[in-house]
């Protein structure tokens, strides 16, 4: 005897409980603290803040804990939280030229004012599993050897000039002036993107975009799917001041500091009969220490400028509608995973159709017979 399906609500509550248990894991193992995640999984926290579009390491760490380390899920949590927060105002643009540097490198010059500061990076490590990390610090101290290379700049007041600015002294690199009146940039979190999209809108989309997707798109530009001969002009990691001009005061005050990674990619341009050859640029910016993201973003930014620079658009990375419509991990993950939802009504319709088509093979109406008569 068939009984109609019921009890969906109970099933959901049960699944919550199971999820809770999964998140906690073995109760005999100490629970993760937010502080631990924040301190010891810094790079995960940085990614969640960048794509979540909120600089708050505490909340990002919470999201990571809640999502059992699934960063795309954590990003979702942070974005949903952000969505209904009230807006207090807009900051001044950050000045990365005044960054207190933890790391600063350039591939375009061997040495430069301010020096190549390696800072904390995996770049020169060998990717060998460090089994000493299986134990906690107190036990392993004797065993592990940590080499550090590079040094911090001596004075916090010394600001290293940007490579871009150095190239600019010879007029070798394209410059971008802020638009007249310095209008408020379009805010993607308030309005949907419309095409064609301005560069600032594209950059906002890329900053929030999924790192994996951008990485793949960037990689494709290096493998012949568009090619802009990129060089890392400069990568900077460090903290910058956030400044706000409150109406009542009329001048800027610092409301805090954030850590950002900035990548300036330098690309070749052919020039034309009217324009002498100049380097063109791609730009990437992310919260925290996120080099892969900033670099990928800068390559994709440059590729998306193809039309503006008179280049032939041939590959997906150069197509704004393709890149910007698919870069958001929430949209992508949501729609891909929505396939798990019941679709049996739609499927029923398709089932009926296929059955019908198999039962009576289509009589494709060809008019050969009739036509012969017409044109006899």
- Residue numbers of the site for another protein (CB under 8 A)? 2, 4-13, 76, 79-80, 82-84, 86, 189-192, 194-196, 272-274, 321, 325, 330-331, 333-338, 341-346, 348-353, 357, 362-368, 371, 375
At closest approach, how far in Å is the CB of 358 from another protein?
11
**Smallest separation (angstroms) from another protein to the CB of 179:** 22
Q: Identify which of residues 127 and 375 has a Cβ nearer to another protein in the complex.
A: 375
Q: Is there a contact between 65 and 32 (Cβ–Cβ < 8 Å)?
A: yes
Q: How far is the CB of 46 from another protein (least distance, A)?
A: 20
- Give the span between the Cα atoms of 260 and 297, in whole angstroms: 14
275 neighbors 171 (Cβ within 8 angstroms): no
290 in Cβ contact with 208 (< 8 Å): no
Cis amide leading into 18 (omega within 30): no
CA-to-CA separations, 318 to 186, 306, 322, in angstroms, rounded: 21, 6, 8
Strands (E), 150-279: 231-244, 253-267
Q: How far is the CB of 316 from another protein (least distance, A)?
A: 12
The least CB distance from residue 309 to another protein, in Å, is 13
* CB 153, CB 159: distance < 8 Å: no
Contact partners, residue 135, CB within 8 Å, separation at least 6: none
Smaller CB separation from another protein, 192 or 250? 192
Give the nearer residue to another protein in terms of CB position, either 149 or 371: 371
Minimum Å gap between C-beta 182 and another protein is 23
Cα→Cα distances 149→44, 120, 198, 290, 342, Å: 23, 8, 41, 19, 55
What are the percentages of helix, strand and coil residues in the chain, rounded to 5? 40, 15, 45
Closest separation in Å from C-beta 7 to another protein: 5
In 10 A of CB 352, how many CB atoms? Answer: 10
Q: Which is nearer to another protein, 73 or 130 (CB)?
A: 73
CB of 334 to another protein, least distance (A): 3
Identify which of residues 227 and 333 has a Cβ nearer to another protein in the complex.
333
Residue 205 backbone phi and psi in degrees, to 5: -60, -45
What is the distance between the alpha carbons of residues 338 and 332, in angstroms, rounded to a whole number? 10
In the complex, the smallest distance separating the C-beta of residue 319 from another protein, rounded to whole angstroms, is 9
d(CA 10, CA 4) in angstroms, rounded, equals: 15
CB nearer to another protein: give 213 or 283: 213
- Measured from the CB atom, the residue of 165 and 275 that comes closer to another protein is 275
Residue whose entry in the numeric block shows the structure tokens 């019908």? 356
Of residues 202 and 289, the one with the C-beta less far from another protein: 202
The rounded distance, in Å, linking the Cα atoms of 307 and 304 is 8
Tell me whether residue 120 or residue 196 sits nearer to another protein (CB atom). 196
């Amino acid at each position: 005897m068939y009984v109609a399906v019921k009890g969906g609500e109970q099933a959901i509550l049960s699944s919550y409980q199971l999820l809770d248990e999964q998140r906690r894991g073995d109760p005999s193992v100490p629970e993760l603290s937010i502080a631990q995640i924040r301190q010891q999984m810094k790079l995960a926290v940085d990614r969640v803040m960048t794509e979540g579009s909120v600089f708050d390491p505490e909340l990002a760490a919470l999201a990571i804990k809640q999502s059992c380390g699934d960063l795309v899920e954590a990003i979702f949590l942070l974005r949903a939280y952000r969505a209904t927060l009230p807006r207090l105002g807009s900051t001044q643009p950050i000045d990365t030229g005044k960054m207190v540097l933890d790391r600063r490198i350039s591939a375009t010059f061997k040495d430069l004012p301010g020096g190549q500061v390696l800072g904390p990076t995996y770049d020169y490590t060998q990717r060998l599993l460090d089994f000493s990390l299986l134990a906690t610090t107190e036990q392993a101290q004797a065993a592990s050897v940590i080499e550090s290379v590079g040094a911090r700049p001596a004075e916090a007041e010394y600001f290293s000039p940007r490579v871009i600015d150095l190239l600019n002294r010879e007029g070798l690199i394209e410059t971008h002036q802020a638009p007249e009146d310095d209008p408020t940039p379009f805010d993607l979190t308030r309005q949907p993107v419309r095409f064609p999209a301005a560069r600032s809108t594209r950059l906002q989309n890329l900053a929030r975009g999924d790192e994996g997707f951008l990485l793949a798109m960037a990689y494709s530009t290096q493998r012949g799917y568009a090619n802009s001969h990129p060089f890392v002009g400069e990568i900077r990691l460090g903290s910058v001041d956030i400044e706000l001009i409150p109406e009542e005061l009329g001048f800027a005050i610092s409301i805090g500091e954030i850590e950002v990674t900035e990548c300036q990619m330098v690309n070749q341009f052919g020039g034309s009969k009217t324009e002498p050859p100049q380097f063109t640029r791609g730009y990437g910016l992310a919260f925290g220490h996120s080099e892969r993201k900033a670099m990928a973003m800068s390559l994709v930014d440059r590729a998306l400028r193809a039309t503006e620079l008179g280049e032939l658009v041939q590959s997906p990375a150069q197509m704004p509608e393709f890149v910007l419509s698919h870069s958001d991990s929430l949209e992508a993950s949501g729609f891909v995973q929505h396939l798990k939802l019941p679709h049996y009504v739609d499927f029923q319709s398709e089932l009926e159709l296929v059955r019908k088509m198999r039962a009576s093979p289509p009589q494709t109406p060809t008019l050969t017979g009739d036509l012969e008569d017409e044109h006899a």
